[in-house]
Each structure stands twice: as structure tokens, then as C-alpha cells.
Amino acid sequence: MVGANMEGDTLTKARRWLTVLSAILFAVLSGQLVHAQEVNKPLIGFSFEAMKGERWQTDLSSFEVRAKQLGAEVISRDADGDDDRQFQQVQDMIKTGVKVLVLLPHTNSQASRMVDAAKAANVKVISYDRLILNSDVDLYVSFDRLEIGKMQAQYLVEHARKGNYVLIAGSPNDEGAKALHGAQMSVLQPYIARGDIKILADAYTKDWLPSEAYLFMLKAIDSSQGTIAAVLASNDGLAGAAIQALREHDLAGKVPVSGQDADLAAVICLAQGTQTMTVYKPVTKEAVRAAEEAVRLAKGEKTHADGTTNNGKTNVPTIMLKPVVVTRDNIKATVVKDGFQTLKRINQALPEDQQIK
């Protein structure tokens, strides 16, 4: 009996050890499986030339959400307006193992070296919002800048057909800013030729800096003694700076001002009547499309482009989204309806008689 009991105890202990060992083995294998699944997630890099203003924060947030829904992991970097820093950050992301690089370049013409570095490591490249020139880009996702420029200029000439115009363009290093300016001039040229419109001041603005636009606008006001018919500002940051200069000369609300991006401050200015229009680009749609295409490229699939754009080296597959004119009259039907801005945030900054109902 004693021998039988000892034998039974030994078997019981053996079973317990087998159970423990099985649990340990299961945990190890499960951990390895989870790790393998994480490793298999496509890694996507998003390089921003400068994360300034609410615009690019919105893009990144929307991109990250959609990419994660599709099972990808996103890392992002902010170059703070420095070409060399952006290049170094891109190199670091490539070393980290990104499969796709989404690139918003600081200087379009200098970004080709980043594309070359990515291609050397077999990394696909999406040119985001701005077209990278003379490079082997896999996809370009943006809005039609020619259409945006025409929208801005056309809206202004409908409200100020004659007089002195001030043009405040974007960065001279941004090919998109140049395309925008060219489209604006194509609308203004017939009025200029007839002598109805005179270009009082026209310049590009370093790095799209509102501080530069503010000083430029002050000089234009002084040189014209305040006789300005319209301000064609290429984006809302520049528009806001121009409005501040106009306000200091008691001209805000008396001079039509254009913009672009539908930033909160600009939408508030629309409600106040100090900014005449802005061009809303549904950037969440742009970011979502870019995320979807990035995942496709990471999986070795073809992009769903709807056209091509020549960048000086090749015809880049392109997804071009449509912009929308926003005025005080359609704030609710556009940016609020899409959830891009909220009535609460807009109205908090406005007196009762200016609030959007």
C-alpha cells in the first residue's frame, strides 16, 4: 500500500508539472504569436515639413486613425521648416523599417533626395499635398491648387471689380504656392489689361509666415494711403495677418480678403465679416485616402489613382480632391456639417449678434 501511494504521488506531481509546463509553453507561444502579429503590421512613416497651425494636426490625426483601423502602425516626424532636418528624419525612419513614406516636403525641389533614399531601401513614397519634383514618386494625393487659386480670385473680382489689389502668396520654395499664384493671375489678368484692377503689391511670403504677411500688408496700406480694393491672401494664416494690419487702420471688414484652409480663426473672421471667403479642403478625406493608399502600397497592391501629374521626371499617379468655397452664408452647410469645425467653438468667440444660428 505504501509503495502504491508513493507511485500515485509521483504520478500526481508529474501531471502537475506537465500542466505547469504546458501553461508556460502556451504563454511563450502566445507571446511569440502576438509579437509576430505586431511585427507583421505595416510600418508607415509620415514626415511633415513643419507641424504648425491646426491644419497639419488634423491631417495627422485623421491619417493615424484610418491607418490603425487598417492594421498599420504610424510614426511621424516634424522637421520644423528645416530641409536638412527633414532629410535626416526621413533617413532615420527608413532605418526604423518603414514600408511606405508619406512626405509633406518643406521645399519641393529639394525633396527628391529623400525620395532617392527611400527608393534605395525599397520604400514606397506618397507625395502628400505638395508635389515632389523630379523624383520617382509612387503617388500624389492633394487638392486641385489651380482650382483653388481661381476660386479665390474669382470670388474677389465679383465683390471688387475695380481698384488696387494686394496679393500675398505663399512660400517661394513651395511649387504649390507658385501654381496657386499663377491661377489667381489667370483670373485677374483680363481686369488688369482693361485697367480696372491695379496690382498694388504682390510678393511671396517666406515659409508662409503670418508675421511676414503682416509687415507686407502694413507697407501696402501706407503706400496706397489706405485705398485698397481687395487682398488676395493665399491661405488663412496670411489672411489673418492682413486683417490685423487692416484692423489697425480701421479697414477690417471694408476690404474683401480671401483665404484657404477654413481654420477656426478664419471661420470666426467670416462670421465677423472681416474675411470674405476661404477655400475649404476636406483634409480629413485627403488624410484618409492617403492612409488607405499607404496600406495598399505596403501590401504590394496597386493604388487607386484617378489620373496622373507630371513632376518633371515621370507621370505620377494622382488622387486630386475637390475644394469648396466657404462664406458666412454656408459655414453650417460645409465645415460644420463635415465636423471640421463646430458651432460651439465658432460662436464662443462671437458676440450674440454675430453668432451662426
User: DSSP letters of 45-95?
Assistant: EEEES---HHHHHHHHHHHHHHHHHTT-EEEEEE-TT-HHHHHHHHHHHHH
Question: What is residue 36's predicted lDDT score, i.e. its pLDDT?
Answer: 41
Computed on alpha carbons and rounded to an integer, the radius of gyration of the chain in Å comes to: 27
Q: Which residues contact 71 (CB under 8 A, 6 or more apart)?
A: 41, 42, 295
pLDDT band at 54 (very low <50, low <70, confident <90, very high): confident
Q: How far is CA 71 from CA 42, 221, 307, in A?
A: 7, 53, 27
Q: Minimal CA–CA distance to 258: which of 277, 279, 281, 238?
A: 277
- Reported as a single tens digit per residue, the pLDDT across 120-158 is 999 999 999 999 999 999 999 999 999 999 999 999 999
Tell me if 105 sits within 8 A of 113, measured CB to CB: no
For the chain, give the mean pLDDT: 90
- Reported as a single tens digit per residue, the pLDDT across 202-257 is 999 999 999 999 999 999 999 999 999 999 999 999 999 999 999 999 999 999 99
Rounded distance between C-alpha atoms, residue 342 and residue 332, angstroms: 9
pLDDT at 311 over 60: yes
Amino acid code (one letter) for 30:
S
pLDDT band at 22 (very low <50, low <70, confident <90, very high): low
Question: What is residue 19's predicted lDDT score, i.e. its pLDDT?
Answer: 55
- Reported as a single tens digit per residue, the pLDDT across 173-199 is 888 899 999 999 999 999 999 999 999
Q: Is the whole-model pTM more than 0.85? A: no
Rounded distance between C-alpha atoms, residue 351 and residue 307, angstroms: 46
Region 341-348: mean pLDDT is 95
Q: How far is CA 72 from CA 46, 95, 289, 293, 298, in A?
A: 12, 18, 14, 12, 9
Percent of the chain with pLDDT over 70: 89
pLDDT band at 35 (very low <50, low <70, confident <90, very high): very low
Higher pLDDT, 6 or 167: 167
Cell (9 digits) for 181: 499664384
Region 308-330: mean pLDDT is 96
- CA distance from start to end of the chain: 92
Question: What is residue 154's predicted lDDT score, i.e. its pLDDT?
Answer: 98
Amino acid code (one letter) for 257:
V
pLDDT at 164 over 90: yes
pLDDT band at 12 (very low <50, low <70, confident <90, very high): low
